[in-house]
Structure 1
Amino acid sequence: MPYQKFQSADSKPRYSKGQISVFGINSIYPRTPWIAAWWSAAFPGFGHMYIGKYLHGFLLIIWELVVNNQAHINMAIALSFLGRFEEAKAQINQSWGLLYVAVFVYSIWDSYRCAVEINKSHSLAEIEDAPITPSAVSFFDVMILEKKHPWVGLVWSALSPGLGQLYGGSTVVGTFLLAWWIYVCYKSEAIRAWLHSFLGDFSSVPGIVDWQWFLFLPSMYAFAIYQAYTAVNESNTLYDIEQIRFLRARAEQLSHLPTAQNDAVVQVIATFEHSPFVEIVIHDIEKLGVPPQNIVALPMENLESQTHIIDSIHRVDGKSILDGAMMGATIFGVLGAIYGFVLYWGPIIWGLLGLVGGFFLGFIIELLLHKKKMKFVSSRKSEVLVEVTCPAAMQEALIKLLKSRRANGFVIVPQRFT
């Protein structure tokens, strides 16, 4: 969150905090560099998508699909884990395999480097208090920066990768992931294998599935869930940052105006979450006849909170600990699919079991590493304080208005007489 005093609108910031367009929402959000590097190692392109460099990510994902398939990397990996080393060596197309190595290493290195640079840019944008345009209207779409539930994005991507991204406002990313998921499922015969697995026909599944294409799915599935969750968090944070700047700008513009005086006045203080209702209630109070300079609306600085497991719409401050859980889900999802080719339940069932088991194993490791008391879901935080000085005759109408606009609570300041 911005920690510097609002900068004058006369000076144009050099560093952007985020951008909203018909193509989606993106932001200069501080990401952990080693997590970006790990996702690039799991699948080239994922690390760049994690840090918001979507064009780089798309290019590297397409490269991975083409070169990995030509070199038969996935088949060689699966056979190696099954102990069939000679067969693995025979599968590799050396000409394509040699092309694979350099770009794979580059993907890991560059995602780490870019995450570091983005973090620097974020710090400079915070200092400058760069503005953000909260909406974009075009012939094709209406994009509005709004607060959403991170777990809803997670669930939609769990049902079908890409849907969580569309929910979060990333139109191009969601379309790409959804199309890619459909294509890879088709090439790997995953849907037919899924049907046979859940009908109990386990013996026929290894013969149905195309191993080379199927091993793309666990990494893609886990990343799509994780990226949808983090993207909604970042969009919510961007909304908070934009509204904080608006409120500070408003306070600065009204600070030079004298407060209207009245013999019989009341002061009402209310708290709100960051949402469109904050700006709506300000305009509604002005319509009641309260002068703008008598309405003080400012963001509150919250004290440090406990680490939590799941972010909510009420608090998204990057302190949740699902990174390790999703990494574990990816690793064990891939291993489950590989060993499922030779185990009785087949790659579908074992891949899902590995995904779930890896998630909980990674989650437990995260808990052990933090070694502190945690909350399961992030708690509600005080975000915006609105103070209204108005004639006593308006008190009832004002309180009714605050309730209708979802104020968290309010208090009428008692008058002191000397």
Structure 2
Amino acid sequence: MSQYPQTRRQRAYLTQFSTTVLYPRNPWVVAFFSFSYPGFGHLLLHRYIAGLILILWETFINHNAKINLGIFYSLTGDFAKAMDVIDEQWLMLYVAIYMFGIWDGYRQAVDMNKQYILAEREDAPIQSIAIGTWDINYLDKRKPWVAVLWSVLFPGLGHLYIHKVIVGFFIFAYTVAIMYFGHLPQAIHLTMVGEFDLAKDIFEIQWAMYLPSIYFFIHYDAYIGTIDYNILFEKEMKKFLRKNYQNKEFKFPI
């Protein structure tokens, strides 16, 4: 018997808390999400550690450099104020890692697409269920629009629906923190009772500017993740049927 496994690559890896899957990605889409928010492109590729580090770094350095405020004032045409609020010392530390996130996301997408092709040619086995002390994860067919709907109601819920527990809880907690520091719930409440000036005063633009990128990404990731897992479920089922029922000599049970 050979000391080497029959297949060199995995198509998917199931744990109690998540499903990591090789699936072709458009490198430009990954680069776009890395451009809109460093780390999101890596989450799209299931590279969670690198993605979470880049997201937390983005939050830290952006807050200190006041980049979101500079963007806001630039969009409103107040370029002088935009230049005043930007901290050049922190900004110099921001640029290199921001560019690295875009480049690395694109590069990783190209490389992982090649790995996907090779794994498909090898017809690598697919694990269908993972059972542990804390949770059960299994391949199943789910509805993409349901994942998007829950993500619209609150970021992270759509990911929990498709059992991306690690990313789901991180996005959930991260969005709550952004909303808290941006005083968004208070601003919404004051707006609803007609206190527009007070709502404007307590609203923190620096924190609130994160939310559009977060919401756009989580809707896309929940939708495309559901489709990926549905395809993976179908592949595992097809492989099982080929292996166990395709032989013409197979005797079907009465």
Which TM-score bucket, shorter chain as reference? over 0.9
Match of 1:29 in 2: 23
Deviation, 1:61, is 0.4
Residues 1:157 and 2:154 are matched in the alignment: no
Structure 2-normalised TM-score?
Answer: 0.94
From the CA coordinates, give the structure whose radius of gyration is larger: 1
Match of 2:207 in 1: 213
Q: Deviation per CA, 1:266-296, whole angstroms, max 9, x where unpaired?
A: xxxxxxxxxxxxxxxxxxxxxxxxxxx144x
In structure 1, the residue corresponding to 2:14 is in which secondary structure?
A: strand
Deviation, 1:157, is 0.7
Deviation, 1:250, is 1.3
Structure 2: runs of 5 or more not aligned: none
Match of 2:170 in 1: 176
Instruction: Please show how residues 4-403 of structure 1 align to structure 2 within 5 Å.
Output: 12-251=6-245, 254-255=247-248, 257=249, 293-295=250-252
Letter in 2 for 1:187: F
> Within 2, Cα distance between the matches of 1:206 and 1:194?
10
In structure 2, the residue corresponding to 1:19 is in which secondary structure?
A: strand
> Within 2, Cα distance between the matches of 1:229 and 1:197?
32
Deviation, 1:86, is 1.7
> Within 2, Cα distance between the matches of 1:200 and 1:28?
50
Deviation, 1:113, is 0.7
> Within 1, Cα distance between the matches of 2:59 and 2:230?
32
Match of 1:407 in 2: none
Letter in 2 for 1:84: D
User: Which of the pair has the greater relative contact order for Cα pairs under 8 Å at 6+ separation?
Assistant: 2
Match of 1:400 in 2: none
Deviation, 1:200, is 4.0
Equivalent residues, number: 251
Q: Deviation per CA, 1:210-231, whole angstroms, max 9, x where unpaired?
A: 1110101111112111111111
Deviation, 1:204, is 3.0
Q: Deviation per CA, 1:282-340, whole angstroms, max 9, x where unpaired?
A: xxxxxxxxxxx144xxxxxxxxxxxxxxxxxxxxxxxxxxxxxxxxxxxxxxxxxxxxx
Structure 1-normalised TM-score?
Answer: 0.58
Deviation, 1:198, is 3.4
Q: Deviation per CA, 1:144-196, whole angstroms, max 9, x where unpaired?
A: 11111111110001101000000011010101000001111000001111222
Match of 1:344 in 2: none
Deviation, 1:11, is 5.3
Deviation, 1:242, is 1.0
Deviation, 1:249, is 1.3
> Within 1, Cα distance between the matches of 2:153 and 2:202?
23
Over aligned residue pairs, what C-alpha RMSD do you find? Answer: 1.6
Percentage identity across aligned positions? 37
Q: 1:128 to 1:41 in 2, by over 3 A?
A: same
Letter in 1 for 2:43: M
> Within 2, Cα distance between the matches of 1:205 and 1:35?
36
Deviation, 1:96, is 0.9
Letter in 2 for 1:179: A
> Within 1, Cα distance between the matches of 2:175 and 2:154?
8
Q: For structure 1, which segment, 82-91 or 167-176, has the greater mean C-alpha deviation from structure 2 after superposition?
A: 82-91
Q: Which has the higher strand share?
A: 1
> Within 1, Cα distance between the matches of 2:194 and 2:48?
40
In structure 1, the residue corresponding to 2:19 is in which secondary structure?
A: strand
